[in-house]
Amino acid sequence: MPPVAAAHAAAHAYEYGVEPMFVIDAEGTMHNPNATARRLLPDANWAALWSTHQAAAVNAALEQARQDGTARCEAGLAGSHDSTPWQLALHRLPESEGAVLVTLRRQAPPPDDNEARARRLLSAHCNIVWSTRVFGQFDTDQPGWRAFTGQSEAELMGRGWINALHPDDRSMPYVMPSHLTTVFETEYRLRHVSGAYRNMVVRMLPLLDEHGAVREWLGSHTDVTTQRQGEQQLRLAMQGGRMGTWEIDLGSGSLHCSEACRANFGLLTHTELNYAQLTGAMLDGDLQQWQEAVRTAIAAAADFEIDLRVRWPDGSLHWVHMRGTCTSDGAGNVITLSGISLDLTASKQNEEALRLTLAASEVATWSWDIVSDLVTADRNMARLFPLQPQPTAPTPLASYLSLIHPDDLPHLNAKITEAIEVGQPFEASYRIEGADGQTRHVLARGRVEYGPDGTPLRLPGVILDITRQKQIEDALHSSEERYGTLIELMDQAYCVIEMLYDADGYPVDWRYLEGNPAFVKQSGLENAFGRTIREMVPEHDQHWFNVYDEVLRTGRPIRYENEAHAMQRWFDIYATRLGGPGSRKLAVLFSDISERKRSELQLRKLADDLSEMDRRKTEFLATLAHELRNPLAPIRNGLQIMRMAADKPDTVARVRDVMERQVNQMVHLVDDLLDVARITRGQIDLKPERIDLKTVIASAVETNTPLIETNRHQLDLDMDSQPLLLDADPTRLAQVLGNLLNNAAKYTPAGGRISLIARRDGDEAVIAVRDSGMGIPQGALGSVFDMFTQVGQNMGRAQGGLGIGLSLVRRLVELHGGSASAASDGPGQGSTFTIRLPLLPLPPQIAPQADDSAPAASGQLRVLVVDDNIDAAETLCAILDMMGHQAEMVHDGAQALEHAAQFRPDVVFLDIGLPDMDGYAVARALRQTPVGQHCELVALTGWGGEDDRNQASAAGFNHHLTKPARIDAIGALLAGLSTSNQT
């Protein structure tokens, strides 16, 4: 028990103890008397409590308790008429200055003869009898308790007896209120010496002394387990049977009903039901029957039972069975009626349904008393046999036989004789001549009943009017010939099969018995009749046998579509059992639907493909529209600013830079889209060559250095000391590494760290791009390479784009026979993207290569620009001039051929879409001239497909640039050509 609860219990026990208790301080003043002390000792003066000749002994005991801690003595109270002395128990209180707790006890007088007899009588009728002087505690040994529970004396003392209670019952209040003067009763479960818990009724009575104080508690425990179990069983039985109980007090007219009884009358469980409501619910005719039954029962003091129709409050009609008995007083007068009620509605409805079913199905019942030769029948029988004048009255059997068709009478008599003599069930079908001249077909069934000595006594039975059935059978027989012809002519296959089973009753085969001409066409089986399916198709699917077996067992036809894999056909079948239970024959109607199934499959695939294409198109257009608006807005705004601030060169220059960045972003976006489209359609062609991975890495780093420097990132390169030789497309690999470096720069906060590591791992090159950026959630790692997925989109760090860069990385790497993966410790922990590519074997010896890292010497080139877009031509010439080259421009093909002969260019940038002749024709014409044979032709066009590049190469172009061409790409091209010219 918790300390606080123990303290409360101790205080409660002190206050309401049966013995007077109080405290004497060092000055002799009384304090804290309990309830008993306050009642018996109204004078709170210690010295005034004791007579003069006893004061010295009491004070001596008080001093002894202060010195030794405890003392005892006897003394009588001053002014008391009772000569019985009090026993004083004195205990020094710890941690106090001379305070002593005083407890007064009186020796209980011996019980008188009446009390002793009461205790003996109580012991004879109860399982346990006990007594105690302390509330809720045993202060003396209780032999009855020990015998029943098995607890020892030490275990039951104090509040230890509670441990014998059921755990769920131990929280009950076992400390009795002090004002209790009558019998206290409760019930709980007590552990028996056998270990089982028993239901015990506990009764407790306080015994008072002459002053009215409780001197002792007397209690008993009675085992009521058997009674409670019986009550529970009765309650469950009544609930399960919807049985209620009722009682009518004839003196007061009051009615008491159980919940089930109220429910029988349609009332809620907590609604009261009086006698007026009970009788008011009965229908008029049933009310009179109830009143008569009650009067008769009271007059004879007898039992009664009756079925009544009652109207529920919701208006519905129900049946109730009421059974009652009378209870009389000593003079024999009936004073109460009590009984049970039972809801018969369902039973009555079933009886009515059966009656209507018999009437509707034209079934008649009859019984022939063989000894008296009289037949008793119902009204349905009377309709079949037109007997006069009382068709339902007992009638000799000969009267019924006279109405039977003469041709059927000998057979019927033989069946009757056989049923009586052999004891077999009687069954016969025959015709009856009706009063209207119509002949009725009937089927009679029955069984003879015999006496103890074997004498036939009665033949009861039923007759079914099967006239309609006979008519249907005749019509069916007529139609069989017509349907037989139809089956022969129809395009669907029809056959009759017989199922074959193994010794365990498992279906293993079937035999074809017959079929129509379409059978061979639909099944592909020739000469099948008389043979089994296993003979012709040994690997036929088992599910066909299981389906046909189920039809035979249940008798339910089935419509079924499935594939016969061994026959490479799909069938739509309808199968039904021929004959009754036990038959092994089936009629099967089927069609070959293989072609339809192939068409359905193609249509489903087409629909799925179209749905997926539509979804992707919608997703792509929505994303593309969003991403194109981003650069278009600053471009449009920049144009307006340039018009408004034409006289402000600094503003124009700043706006131009913005527009250039946005145009570059759009070009990058379109390039990525074109690459994805080519890869998705399988139209991208790699141009593999033997390359060193370090060269590709250097190109990718050079391309992304401006973005890295703009964001103030630190880039660390860690390369393998050995060459990493690949058979790969350098342009595509540079695109892969560029995308990874670009992502690392974008998704790393300014001042971050990016590292690129390239190492050999067996026969693979491993490239890892690691950053200290925003990281990737674990749940997003699996989809980071999916189309339209952006690393930071769901983390508030989206950086624009269609989310196709990483998808391009994975697809391009896979085209090279490699793999791409991503790793991250989570948001804010950075990311690592790893590329693995197959390496070429190292040659036995690699010749040292000259250091080509130094920039090549630049030289001036003569460049001719041919473009019908004057703005484009002028801007390109201006760029070429700023690069230190000599540039001139023309705007159609004829001018190009004429000016080339005079200008003698080293390089010609030639637009394909010229107005007079296309660029391919101009290129072919230039190659025919002395000047054109030695110059470099560069196709400058908006068409960047592989087919476009091949067509340009066939026309004589050396290089191909897609509009709008990047300035660094033009510069790199010209720098290479300049170096070649110098060498």
404 Cα distance to chain centroid: 68
| 3-state DSSP assignment of residue 253 | coil
Given the structure tokens 């948001």, which residue do they identify?
Answer: 827
The encoded tokens of residue 552 equal 């035979």
pLDDT at site 451: 86
* Cα–Cα distance for residue pair 488/781, rounded to 1 Å: 67
pLDDT at 13: 65
Dihedrals φ, ψ of 110, to 5°?
Answer: -60, 140
pLDDT of residue 890: 92
Determine the pLDDT at residue 794: 46
Note the Cα 244 to chain centre separation in Å. 41
- The three-point CA angle 734-739-744 to 5° equals 125
Please list the alpha-helical segments (H only) found in 270-393: 275-280, 284-300, 345-360, 379-384
In DSSP notation, 862-895 reads EEEEE-S-HHHHHHHHHHHHHTT-EEEEESSHHH
Task: Confirm whether pTM is higher than 0.75.
Answer: no
> What string of DSSP letters covers 61-74?
HHHHHHHHSEEEEE
Q: List 429's β-bridge partners, or say none.
A: 443
The span from the CA of 519 to the CA of 760, in Å, is: 69
What is the rounded CA–CA span in Å between residue 631 and residue 391? Answer: 105
Hey, how many other C-beta atoms are within 10 angstroms of the C-beta on 250?
Answer: 15
pLDDT of amino acid 552: 93
3-state SS, residue 23: strand
pLDDT of residue 553: 93
Predicted pLDDT of residue 168:
87
d(CA 293, CA 295): 6
Peptide bond into 964 cis (omega under 30): yes
Taking the chain (983 residues) in runs of 10, the rounded mean pLDDT of each run is 55 72 86 82 75 84 88 81 76 83 72 58 73 78 88 88 88 57 78 91 79 76 84 64 81 84 80 83 90 90 91 89 87 87 84 67 82 85 72 81 90 91 90 79 90 89 85 75 71 91 93 90 90 93 93 92 91 92 92 90 87 69 64 76 82 82 74 69 75 83 82 87 88 85 88 92 93 86 69 47 72 89 89 93 53 45 89 78 86 90 92 86 91 89 77 90 78 78 60
Take residue 833 and report the two structure tokens written for it. 């993207």
Amino acid 832: pLDDT: 93
- Coil, helix or strand at residue 240: helix
Cα distance between residue 922 and residue 916, in whole Å: 10
